[in-house]
Amino acid sequence: MSEMYPRSTASIAGHPIHPMLVPIPIVCFVGTLLTDVAYWSTANMQWANFSVWLLTVGLVASVFAGLAGAIDFFGDRSIRRLRPAWIHAVGNALALSLAIVNAFVHSRDAYTSVVPTGLILSAAVVLILIVTGWNGAALIHRHRVGVQPGERA
């Protein structure tokens, strides 16, 4: 008697791609918040530069992670029936939108690029990622999305 779990449509050799890619933008967006705080504390312009670099890498990586996530989301109807999937998808789209706005804010000169708007946007993105990450973990560990029967999540 084999139990079927929602499958990951975007996968390589049976391994879902989305969870492989999401750590990159998460680390970059958390790093952006940390470097914004460092700039706010020190006024050393290099911290603001780090924020822009981290935001750029995070945005590029999130396009690939988001594409893999969208393929999974739209590729299996049973995933779309799960409430955490909607929270995860809509929340990540919101976080990505705020990160794009944050990139434009960070393109301004020095102090105005970080304080206060850039810092607030960076914190908002990280807070949203905490919620969406929790729901993404629920998809894997509770709802077994992308987990083969008999495998441990």
Q: Which tokens in the block code for residue 75? A: 């590729």
Mean pLDDT, residues 101-114: 91
Buried b (16+ CB within 10 A) or exposed e, 96-126: bebbeebbebbeeeeeebbeeebbebbebbb
Domain presence at residue 7? no
Quick one: average pLDDT of 139-150? Answer: 87
Domain-located, residue 91: yes
> For residue 151, is it within any domain?
no
Residue 100 lies in a domain: yes
Tell me whether residue 148 is in a domain: no
Range of the domain at 103: 15-141
Is there a domain that residue 149 lies in? no
> Residue 112: is its pLDDT beyond 90?
no
Residue 133 in this model has a pLDDT that exceeds 60? yes
Is 10 within the bounds of a domain? no
Number of domains in the chain: 1
Whole-model pTM: value is 0.93
- The model's pLDDT over 33-42, given as tens digits with 9 standing for 90+, comes to 999 999 999 9
Q: Is the residue at 8 inside a domain?
A: no
- Residue 2, pLDDT > 50, answer no
